[in-house]
């Protein structure tokens, strides 16, 4: 199996499983945990979503706070030992490590029009601390702007003078979201959930 084939199978699982069982936001958190670059971050994601892992191994099954069971195939957690790194997969993997999308287009310069009359929707920023922050935003607002809103509503970084700033990292469907991403690009429904990791700056 090549890295590209593995990624396609993983994407197919994560994209379709919420339609069959469980809660979408829990599947989103589990995907983020499985694809996180460190065990500490994965544990923080699982804890923030109130997920119970009886055996400590996600592939053995885990439960949300309502008792629903979630089972994740091993291929979504670890890579096969005989994985073949093809050219396409290697390129995408490198992009993911660098925090870029697999294929990026030249950025267009757009002069935004006033947003006061644009329709808004309510989204939920679910912090890794367990707190939910409701945000009323337009589709044109970017993740960078959402970060400022979350910092203000959660009163996160005014405390910087008391002991250090907190870095906010946004995830949706298990993938990190770049600051330049507009809300409309995520195609979130009303009340949609975005995961926000709180990482203390060293």
Sequential pLDDT tens for the chain (202 residues): 788 888 889 999 998 888 888 899 999 999 998 888 777 788 888 888 888 888 777 888 899 888 889 989 888 888 777 777 665 545 554 554 444 444 433 333 333 444 445 678 889 998 888 888 899 888 888 998 998 888 888 887 654 445 567 788 898 877 888 888 889 888 888 888 888 888 776 5
Q: Specify whether 91 is located in the same domain as 135.
A: no
Answer whether residue 155 is part of any domain. Answer: yes
Rounded to the nearest 10 degrees, the angle between the axes of helix 3-16 and helix 87-97 is 60
The torsion of the CA quartet 16, 21, 23, 28, rounded to 10 degrees, works out to -30
Residue 10: CA count within 13 A, CB half-sphere? 23
Tokens of 13: 């699982």
Q: Specify whether 186 is located in the same domain as 131.
A: yes
CATH number at 36 reads 1.20.225.20
Q: Specify whether 77 is located in the same domain as 25.
A: yes
Q: Specify whether 72 is located in the same domain as 134.
A: no
Q: What pLDDT score does 80 carry?
A: 76
Q: Specify whether 84 is located in the same domain as 130.
A: no
Answer whether residue 60 is part of any domain. Answer: yes
Q: Specify whether 84 is located in the same domain as 143.
A: no
Tokens of 143: 């993740």
φ and ψ of 103, to 5 deg: -135, 120
Domain of residue 40, residue span? 3-97
> Can you tell me whether residue 32 is helix, strand or coil?
helix
Answer whether residue 105 is part of any domain. Answer: no
CATH number at 135 reads 3.10.20.90
**194 close to 188: Cβ distance less than 8 angstroms:** yes
Answer whether residue 162 is part of any domain. Answer: yes
Q: Specify whether 45 is located in the same domain as 126.
A: no
Answer whether residue 167 is part of any domain. Answer: yes
Q: What pLDDT score does 27 carry?
A: 92
φ and ψ of 168, to 5 deg: -105, 125
Number of folded domains in the chain? Answer: 2
Q: Specify whether 15 is located in the same domain as 51.
A: yes
Q: Specify whether 185 is located in the same domain as 124.
A: yes
How far is 50 from 64, CA to CA, in rounded Å? 6
Q: What pLDDT score does 47 carry?
A: 85
The CB density around residue 40, as the number of other CB atoms within 10 Å, is 10
* β-pairing verdict for 193-200 and 120-127: parallel
């Amino acid at each position: 199996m090549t890295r590209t084939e593995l990624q396609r199978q993983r994407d197919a699982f994560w994209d379709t499983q919420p339609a069959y069982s469980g809660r979408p936001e829990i599947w989103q958190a589990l995907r983020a945990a499985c694809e996180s670059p460190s065990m500490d971050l994965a544990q923080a994601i699982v804890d923030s979503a109130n997920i119970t892992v009886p055996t400590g191994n996600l592939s053995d099954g885990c439960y949300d706070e309502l008792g629903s069971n979630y089972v994740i195939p091993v291929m979504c957690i670890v890579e096969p030992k005989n994985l073949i790194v093809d050219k396409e997969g290697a390129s995408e993997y490198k992009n993911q490590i660098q925090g870029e999308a697999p294929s990026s287009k030249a950025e267009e310069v757009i002069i935004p029009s006033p947003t006061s009359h644009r329709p808004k929707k309510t989204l939920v920023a679910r912090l890794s601390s367990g707190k939910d922050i409701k945000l009323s935003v337009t589709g044109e607002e970017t993740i960078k702007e959402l970060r400022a809103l979350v910092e203000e509503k959660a009163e996160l970084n005014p405390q910087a003078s008391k002991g250090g700033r907190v870095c906010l990292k946004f995830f949706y469907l298990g993938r990190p979201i770049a600051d330049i991403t507009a809300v409309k690009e995520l195609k979130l429904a009303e009340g949609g959930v975005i995961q926000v990791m709180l990482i203390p700056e060293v």
